[in-house]
Chain A
Amino acid sequence: MRPVKTLEDLQKIREEASRKVNVRSDRTGIRITVGMATCGIAAGARPVMMAILDELEKRNVKGVTVVETGCIGLCKYEPIVEVYEPDQDKVTYIKMDPEKARQVVVEHVINGHPIKEWTLESADIQ
């Protein structure tokens, strides 16, 4: 229980609480998909997903949706995380782990700088 004494108190609760419900109203921002087919899960997609959610919450990021997706046929690169930004090409990160995932949230989702070296493109180049 948090007694509201001022309008600011209410705003604070609103800010915190709105992160909980944003997922229901905001479909225009960044969308992150995590491959969650058998291959993905076997490769460790679940801890990756949890790390992303945790980082988003910790940093109070708004307007981002996290969606699971099935196998996209690149099983050997799992866990795969895709970041869709409006009006941008999607960025596909491969062979993610929780730590990398957190960095993607910080660098790409928050700061807007995709981490090139972890993407599918750079793997292809290699």
Chain B
Amino acid sequence: MLYRSHVMVCGGTGCTSSGSDSVADAFVNELKKNGLDQEVAVIRTGCFGLCELGPVVVVYPEGVFYSKMKPEYVPEIVEEHLLKGRPVKKYLFGETVTEEKIKPLEETTFYRKQERIVLRNCGIIDPEDIEEAIAMGAYEALGKVLTTMTPEQVIHEIKKSGLRGRGGGGFPTGQKWDFAYRQKETPKYVVCNADEGDPGAFMDRSVMEGDPHAVLEGMAIAGYAIGAEHGVIYVRAEYPLAVKRLQIAIKQAKEYGLLGENIFGTGFNFDVEIRFGAGAFVCGEETALLNSVMGRRGEPRPRPPYPAVKGLWEKPTIINNVETLANVPAIINNGSEWFANIGTEKSKGTKVFALTGKVNRTGLIEVPMGTTLREIIFDIGGGIPDGKKFKAVQIGGPSGGCIPEQHLDTKIDYDSLISLGAMMGSGGLVVMDEDTCMVNVAKFFLEFLVDESCGKCAPCRIGTKRMLEILDKITSGKGEPEDIDRLEELATTIKDTALCGLGQTAPNAVLSTLRYFRDEYDAHINQKKCPAGVCQALLSYTIVADKCRGCGLCARNCPVNAISGQLKQPYTIDQEACIKCGTCFEKCPFDAVVKA
């Protein structure tokens, strides 16, 4: 059945939680009511990226973009747009509506600077219909490698493309495959690391939800390259939608003979199973992941031996992350040269980022390596809300680092980020404005890591806890000058001696804030002040006599009776009694209460 129009309702996790399911249902019902259900299709897709504006609906063929949809808007859109052909401007994303025309989604500033390889089909296809994926070219790369290439050629092609692991470390993918390919031991395994655990990161989830076949195809190609017939996707159980779509995709791919036995009649067999993780951050570390897959306690083991030599069930295993694998079919289809032409000298291709925090357009983006942070935050992300000043961007998840204003024009790739004291990580970008206390930020990320440390090696288990205790001390106004030295001593040792990559990078948040925002630490310790006004113990509230009209509202609302004065006279706050709850600050109608 050919439909003249397609209503694409985002079915990613972000939009689903803001109610896109009921929007989709409303479209289905309303179209039926208007007798349009034979002409207009409603399709639930993966993530479009602009999660801030969800639920997102895009209507084709025009490609117009309705943002923040509600079921109650649907009847009007069906009546006006789908029946009469007049897009309903008031529900469209404002930026797309101009005097002369309505711009389609891809012409928005959010999309214009992006280059979508990994997210090529996200928001474009129905991820639960393999034929839509095939329509976009899925499994052609697999067919190509199976029928025209040797495993060596595949590995060579991936090596030439310069693809590096997108999960954190940035290890060259082709080299990893080559190690595993050279192992004599069989069986071998391909493991897809879908244990995305950084707070605020949802790149891999979106790929699995929006284009699961890209992952499966990448795994099968990897399997062919290294000589594996079995693939495992290790995905966290907190990603139910991703799991469901993967399960559907695996089932359909098997039905179509694109997974299973004798694929493309070449004698190559490859099957994929899903293993669930319970959400421990450390299980993203490859050896911990393998332990978890095997039903053991999810904690890292020393390397060597590397998984390429001794991995799952002690057999040669490659572990690639979702985004890495999703790049593979595109590289095979378009050639390594095409891929190597995108990006920087040592970091090729694109990178998907989850853009969150104090930025106007939060969401999922994909940009060529070498794009600057300024472009991402200010062009794609639309800058900082409420006219606030940018302070820093935290990149690479909890083990990453904070990058300040002066480095915003750095072209980002694996190596430039490391030299800035951060890391690519899996691609979380948290933007912070001037109201952010960087000591507090370091504390936040360290708190996460202390909680998520597996507890195996002493420096990470105890050292991170001790660092957190020192940060606690500093933010509660009890810091001593020696605490900085202690932090640095601990950070150095943890970085130098922790058992796994997670432990070794755990001090990064502290080290990078110490590097760029040492003055904030000094202010906390020496002046007992939090410059951003975040650390409650370091705040003090005072009443400016000139502004105070003596209304007494503050005194009446103070929960500890710390404010006294006479009506029509300026009031004062007893600093000893004040618990710094901020009630007076909020209640004062004349802005006479100031915090500092």
Contacts and interface: CB of A to CB of B under 8 A. Distances in A.
Direct A/B contact, Cβ within 8 angstroms: yes
Interface string A13-24: 110111111011
B82 interface: yes
A37 B79 CA distance: 10
A17 B135 contact: yes
A58 B426 CA distance: 46
Contacts of A115: none
Contacts of A17: 131-132, 134-135
Contacts of A68: 4-5, 82-85
Nearest to B2: A57
A42 interface: no
A10 B131 contact: no
A2 B4 contact: no
Q: Is the interface of B mostly helix, strand, loop or mixed?
A: loop
A53 B265 contact: no
Contacts of B83: 36, 68
Size category of the A interface is 35 or more
Nearest to A29: B61
B336 to A, nearest CB: 21
Nearest to A3: B257
Contacts of A49: 4, 39
A24 B257 contact: no
Interface in A52-101: 53-54, 56-57, 65-70
A19 to B, nearest CB: 6
Contact of B2 (A19, A25, A69, A70): A19
Interface centre among B2, B35, B86, by most chain A C-beta atoms within 10 angstroms, is B2
A10 B35 contact: no
Interface string B123-155: 011000001101111011001100100000000
Interface centre among A2, A7, A46, A65, by most chain B C-beta atoms within 10 angstroms, is A7
B2 A27 contact: no
B131 A13 contact: yes
A6 interface: yes
Given A5-B265, A7-B264, A27 B39 contact: no
Contacts of A1: 255-256
Nearest to A2: B256
Contacts of B60: 23-24
Interface in A28-49: 31, 33, 36-37, 46, 49
Size category of the B interface is 35 or more
Contact of B6 (A13, A14, A23, A50): A23
A123 interface: no
B104 interface: yes
A4 B5 CA distance: 29
B85 A21 contact: no
B337 interface: no
Nearest to A41: B83
B480 interface: no
A42 to B, nearest CB: 14
Interface string B302-340: 000000000000000000000000000000000000000
A53 B3 CA distance: 7
A37 B62 CA distance: 19
B424 interface: no
B258 interface: yes
Contacts of A31: 61
B63 interface: yes
Contacts of B135: 14, 17-18, 20-21
Contacts of A56: 2
Contacts, number: 112
A23 B59 CA distance: 10
Given A7-B143, A24-B61, A66 B264 contact: no
Contacts of A70: 84-86
Nearest to B262: A5
B134 A14 contact: yes
B139 A4 contact: yes
A10 B139 contact: yes
A10 B4 contact: no
Nearest to B41: A20
B422 interface: no
Given A17-B134, A46-B35, A67 B1 contact: no
Given A5-B265, A18-B135, A68-B85, A27 B104 contact: yes
Nearest to A55: B2
B563 interface: no
B264 A5 contact: yes
Nearest to B45: A24
B96 to A, nearest CB: 14
Nearest to A49: B39
Contacts of A5: 257, 264-265
A17 B1 CA distance: 10
A83 to B, nearest CB: 14
Contacts of B39: 49-50, 53
Interface string B83-95: 1111000000000
B8 interface: yes
B248 to A, nearest CB: 14
A6 B84 contact: no
Given A7-B147, A21-B135, A23-B4, 16 more contacts: A6-B265, A7-B140, A14-B135, A16-B131, A17-B135, A18-B135, A20-B132, A24-B124, A25-B124, A27-B63, A36-B84, A37-B84, A67-B61, A67-B62, A69-B85, A70-B85
6 contacts: A4-B258, A6-B264, A23-B60, A23-B61, A24-B8, A33-B85
Interface of B: 1-6, 8, 35, 38-39, 60-63, 82-86, 104, 124-125, 131-132, 134-137, 139-140, 143-144, 147, 255-258, 264-265
Interface of A: 1-7, 10, 13-14, 16-21, 23-27, 31, 33, 36-37, 46, 49-50, 53-54, 56-57, 65-70
